[in-house]
Amino acid sequence: MIAFCLGTFSGLTQKPHAKLDQEKWEDLKETVEYSEKIEKKELEEPADFDDTTDTAPTRSNTNLPDLSGLGYILIAIVILALILAIIFLVKQSNKTASVAVKRKQATSIEEAEDDLPDVELTDLFQDQVNKGEWRLALRVKFLMILQDLIDQNHIVWLKRKTNQQFVTEIKDTSIRITFSMLTGTFDHVWYGEETLNEVQFSATIAELDKLHNKLNEGK
């Protein structure tokens, strides 16, 4: 009986201690878990801040494709302008180079026709005028117009070409029409063996001079 009472008393005295220890353990566990949550949150906050700073450049980068696209267009325009400028300068240099070579004076129509791009015809023309050889003078003057067309790259000279072939080579409509009309007049006199007086000669030369001046505008 005494043993039973002692056992019961011992059991009663131990249960409050066990319950107390359990409650302390739960409180301690909650405290530790709460502290860990706070520390974890504090560690994560700088990461959130960094994410914010990282996203700012990303948002600003969304405009780059538009800017780069515009930049490509501007670069393409600049390159195209440079190419056109180079082509223009090359053409101008070719024109200058073709005329810059000192030409020798031709002494006959045959020599002029054989070496037309490389001969000077002013003396030969004046000689025929002084002699009153209107048909020959007209022939020389017509060859001088062909020289202008060669120098300005309107035609490519070949002795065997006909005047009509030269007409079809000219791309400039205004020049082509004028030259075609003058070619008709010249062919009628030269190949038709028509006589030409001084008045007719002067009128035809005046028209040829107009074309000469037009071909050499801004030269």
Position 137 scores a pLDDT of 97
Give the pLDDT confidence score for residue 44 in this predicted structure: 53
Mean pLDDT score across all residues of the chain: 78
Residues 151 and 77 in one domain: no
Can you tell me the distance from the alpha carbon of 177 to that of 154, in angstroms, rounded to the nearest whole number? 13
Q: Is the dihedral of CA 204, 209, 210, 215 positive or negative?
A: positive
Last residue of a domain, one of 57, 85, 100: 100
Q: What is the pLDDT of residue 129?
A: 97
End position of a domain, from candidates 47, 81, 100: 100
* Structure confidence at residue 73 as a pLDDT band (50, 70, 90): confident
What pLDDT shows up at residue 123? 96
Tokens of 211: 């074309």
35 pLDDT more than 80:
no
In a domain, 152, yes or no: yes
The DSSP symbol for 103 reads: P
Q: What is the pLDDT of residue 104?
A: 92
CA distances 90 to 30, 70, 176, Å, are 89, 30, 24
Lowest mean pLDDT among 8-17, 69-78, 98-107: 8-17
Quick check: 169 and 153 in contact, CB under 8 A? no
User: In terms of domains, do 85 and 180 share one?
Assistant: no
Residue 38 lies in a domain: no
- Residues 124, 93, single domain; the answer is no
Predicted confidence (pLDDT) at residue 178 exceeds the cutoff of 50? yes
Residue 197 has pLDDT above 90, yes or no: yes
Q: Domain of 129?
A: 103-215
79, 133: one domain: no
Please tell me the distance from the alpha carbon of residue 137 to that of residue 62, in angstroms, as a whole number. 76
pTM (global) more than 0.85: no
- Within its chain, how far is the Cα of 112 from the centroid? 41
* pLDDT for 211: 97
Domain membership flag for residue 49: no
Say which residue, 119 or 4, is predicted with more confidence: 119
Alpha-carbon distances of 105 from 86, 124, 148, rounded to whole Å: 34, 8, 16
Q: Is residue 178 part of a domain?
A: yes
Q: Do 187 and 204 have their domain in common?
A: yes
The percent helix, strand, coil of the chain (3-state, each to 5) is 80, 0, 15
What's the pLDDT score for residue 87?
87
| One domain for residues 89 and 110 | no
Q: 118: Cβ–Cβ under 8 A, 6 or more apart, which residues?
A: 101, 103, 104
Q: pLDDT per residue over 94-103, tens digit each?
A: 554 444 458 8
**Within a domain: 72:** yes
Q: In terms of domains, do 178 and 122 share one?
A: yes
112: exposed, middle or buried (Cβ count in 10 Å: 0-12, 13-18, 19+) = buried
pLDDT for residue 128: 97
- Is the pLDDT assigned to residue 132 strictly greater than 90? yes
Report the distance separating Cα 215 and Cα 219, nearest Å: 9
Lowest mean pLDDT among 17-26, 70-79, 98-107, 126-135: 17-26
- List, for residues 137-173, the tens digit of each pLDDT value: 999 999 999 999 999 999 999 999 999 999 999 999 9
